[in-house]
Amino acid sequence: MNSRERILGRVRRALADVPRDDAPYEQAVSRDYAREHGQRSVAQTVELLAENLADYRAIVHRTDADGLAGLIAGLLDKRGAASVLVPPGLDEGWLAATGVTRVADRAESTPAELDRVDSVVTACAVAIAETGTIVLDGSPDQGRRRITLVPDHHICVVRVPGQVVSSVPQGIERLDPARPLTWISGPSATSDIELDRVEGVHGPRTLEVVLVGQGRIEST
């Protein structure tokens, strides 16, 4: 008997007390928890996202479509970045105003090569306001998981309000589990030393989130 059969056999014997007509999954699990917490307007939800991102020490910026290229150029400039990683499907216009050397993420680039790049700019799949989380799903404008991990500076662009949901359940609903997902809530952090929070152990130590409104500049 192989281990698969041995384990499954043990499980079945262990569950001899469970009746055959045990409640099916749909009835066994109550879902009377909230789909979102509190009542907010769309603008308030975006506001909450900004607050929670900042609370977890991400740096939040706001602009509109016309101001985006200039803002990103300014952020790279301020950082003193000499090179920036660009996912294959990133909107060309986003980097139109910067002269920083662009590095394409190629399948053959090694982790050591990625380590030499200063910054990375990506889009996201969805942002969750209540937890201050942005989720990347590996779409062409976000690239492979590694490109937002190895460089020390990540600029992530969120289209508001279209990409913003209130809560974790609403986020889960929008995401495709078949894709590799990275949920990011603030920059890398550790609390392993006397529970003192320290930013940045392995992931990017600086996370800048740009909330891009449609048309007009939102109030800050």
Partner 1 sequence: MSGTYLGMPAFPEAAREAVGNTTLRGNLRHATHTIRAKRATAVAEVSDWAELREAGKRIKDHTLRHLDRYLVRLEESVTAAGGVVHWAADADEANEIVTQLVKMTGESEVVKVKSMATQEIGLNEALEAEGIRAYETDLAELIVQLGKDRPSHILVPAIHRNRGEIRDIFAREMSEWGRPAPEGLTDTPAELAEAARVHLREKFLRAKVGISGANFMVAETGTLVVVESEGNGRMCLTLPETLISVVGIEKIVPTWRDLEVFLQTLPRSSTAERMNPYTSTWTGTTGGDGPSTFHLVLLDNGRTDTLADEVGRQALRCIRCSACLNVCPVYERAGGHAYGSVYPGPIGAILSPQLRGTGSEIDASLPYASSLCGACYEVCPVAIDIPEVLVHLRERVVQGGEVTREGNKVVLRPAKGHAAERAAMRAARWAFTHPGALRTGQRTASRTRRFHPRTLPGPGRAWSGTRELPPVPAEPFRDWWQRTRGGKDGDR
Q: Which of residues 103-142 bind partner 1 (CB under 8 A)?
A: 107, 110-112, 115, 128, 130-133, 138
Tell whether residue 151 is a contact of partner 1 (CB under 8 A). no
Q: Which of 42, 96, 198, 217 binds partner 1 (CB under 8 A)?
A: 198
Q: Which one, 143 or 213, has the nearer CB to partner 1?
A: 143
Q: What is the 3-state secondary structure (H, E, C) of 78-130?
A: HHCCCEEEECCCCCHHHHCCCCCEEEECCCCCCHHHHHCCCEEEECCCEEECC
Q: How many C-beta atoms lie closer than 10 Å to residue 205's C-beta?
A: 16
Q: Which one, 13 or 216, has the nearer CB to partner 1?
A: 13
Q: Least distance to partner 1 from the beta carbon of 22, Å?
A: 6
Cα–Cα distance, 208 to 122 (Å, whole number)? 11
Q: Which residues of 100-111 are buried (b: 16+ CB within 10 A; e: fewer)?
A: beebebeeebee
Tell whether residue 47 is a contact of partner 1 (CB under 8 A). no
Q: Which of 92, 99, 178, 220 binds partner 1 (CB under 8 A)?
A: 178
Q: Which one, 49 or 212, has the nearer CB to partner 1?
A: 49
* Chain center to CA of 127: 7
Q: Least distance to partner 1 from the beta carbon of 103, Å?
A: 16
Q: 161: cis peptide before it, omega within 30°?
A: yes
Q: Which one, 31 or 78, has the nearer CB to partner 1?
A: 31
